[in-house]
Structure 1
Amino acid sequence: MDRLIHGLIEQYGLLAVFLGCLAEGETAALLGGFFAHQRLFAPWQSVLAAFCGAALGDTAFFLLGRRYAQHPWVARLRTRPGFDRADRLLRQHPNLFVLSNRYIYGMRLVGGVAAGLAEIPLWRFVLLNATSALAWALLFTALGYGFGLGAEQVLGRALHAHQRLWLALGLALAMALVAAGLRRRRRRHAGH
């Protein structure tokens, strides 16, 4: 079973990083860095997959807001917690918002749509978004790589492939629990 999982990660891991980074993808980028440290693929490949997913995902959300402002899905996004805040920040500091949007948990999806609804030219959004996506991909891939390096230092170099897989699964589970906790907390605060 461990060999099967290891083979699937080698074969489809970069695709999974790309797909995971299309939306809120910190966990996918971290795992890409971790598996790059485990030499399942090169670090630059992890960064590239995370960058492409993040840049294309945010551009798609921007285009949704720009082209389909009246669509029910976009209208539903406008009612989500944080949309009004994103819209306000975007109108006050459009360039800074596009550069920093992906670093504010829970704002990436609504922020991309809000940017599409604003008066930001497409070329400016793409340029600022690509700059931000590259920095983001480098940061989170490096953090995942560092986690792999730290695990190796703490647990020793003798980690077997199956132990690495379980360690990565633990990292993904921890990130999912943190994300769920933050989401619950945000909903509680939004209800008050």
Structure 2
Amino acid sequence: MDERFFYELVELYGLYAVFFLAMIEGDITLLLAGVLAHSQFFGEYSFFKVLTAGTLGGVTSDAIAYALGNSFRTSVREYRFYRAARPRIERLTEKFGILSILLSKYIYGLRTASCIFYGVAKMPYQRFIPLTLASCFLWAFILSGAGYFFSGTIETLIGDFHQIGIYLLVIVVVGIVGFYLLERFWLAKKVEEADPERVHKLEHAAQEKLHVLSHEIQEHIHLRRSPKSRRKSAPKQKRLVKNREAKATIKKG
């Protein structure tokens, strides 16, 4: 995907572009969106917004692939890309079980095919969605975080983005392409050779991170409630207290 095309779409459609592009070419999208998040391109909490849009885009794409496999399992089996990917998916599944959903995000050629595979295999939908949600969250966190960190490091070492302009852009793009190729080819091979015990530890860490982030979001929403909503809720709370006191008085009587 051309970087200029990406920036034009994001400038026009913002996070909606990140969401839809994450469904099509998630790696480059998340890396570049992470770079933009560092400059607060998407406003306050830019990185969190990119992480959310990327995760939801990945989950939506996976759910569509799963649905296709589940609905058209007979015809899907005849497609060349599926027949080529199936032996690798089966080996991965035999070695890691359901954790192969988590790992398939980092193996070139298996990302979509693995979701179709689980649809064909009739994995329960309520089991597939939580697994792919955790997988997409970790995937989006790693890639957008890499773009965010890389951009921040370059700016710290060299100077402000607006001052160095095209030089920083070239360095960032080269770094992103390098990371993308590293993730797509070298990391894919390492993942298939990984030790299952290490993968279990990684899954546990991802679940903990997701739980902490969910808790932080709830706290943030609670703290940012407008004064109006607080004033509106105050009379309701007073009525509830009065009702409880009245019930307690009746019981005593």
Note whether the superposition's TM-score is higher than 0.5: yes
- Pair 1:56-2:56 in alignment: no
Identical aligned residues as a percent: 27
Partner of 2:69: 65
**Matched residues in 1 for 2:181 and 2:106: separation?**
18
Q: Report how far residue 123 of structure 1 moved.
A: 0.7
Measured against aligned partners, the alpha-carbon deviations of 1:15-66 in whole angstroms (never above 9, x if no partner) come to 3322232145111111111100022111111111110111111111111111
Are positions 1:135 and 2:121 aligned together?
A: no
Using the TM superposition, give the Cα deviation of residue 161 of structure 1 relative to its aligned residue in structure 2, in angstroms. Answer: 8.5
Alignment gaps of 5+ in structure 2? 1-5, 187-253
Q: Supply the AA of the counterpart residue of 1:36.
A: A
* SS in structure 1 of the partner of residue 23 of structure 2: coil
Change in 2 beyond 3 A, CA 1:181/1:44? closer
Aligned counterpart, 1:116: 119
- Cα 1:75–1:8 change in 2 (3 A) is closer
Is the 8 Å Cα contact of residues 29 and 50 (structure 1) preserved in structure 2? yes
**Matching residue of 2:103:** 100
Aligned residue in 2 for 1:40: 41
TM-score (norm 2): 0.59
**CA drift at 1:119:** 3.5
- 1:165–1:141 CA distance, 2 compared to 1 (3 A): same
CA RMSD of aligned residues (A): 3.0
Q: CA separation of 1:89/1:10 partners in 2, compared to 1, >3 Å: closer, same or farther?
A: same
The residue that corresponds to 1:19 in the other structure is: 20
Change (3 A) 1:96 1:31: same
- Whether the 8 Å contact between 2:67 and 2:119 is mirrored in structure 1 is yes
Q: Number of aligned residue pairs: give it.
A: 178
Contact 1:58–1:112, Cα closer than 8 Å, also in 2: yes
Q: 1:179 to 1:104 in 2, by over 3 A?
A: closer
- Distance across 1 between alignment mates of 2:22 and 2:77: 21
Unaligned runs of 5+ in 1: 183-192
Q: Deviations over 1:143-169 (max 9, x none)?
A: 110011111023212534853555554
Q: Distance in 2 between matches of 1:46 and 1:116?
A: 28
Higher RCO (CA-CA < 8 Å; seq separation 6+): 1
Specify which structure has the higher proportion of helix.
2
1:11 maps to amino acid: L
Q: CA deviation at 1:172?
A: 5.4
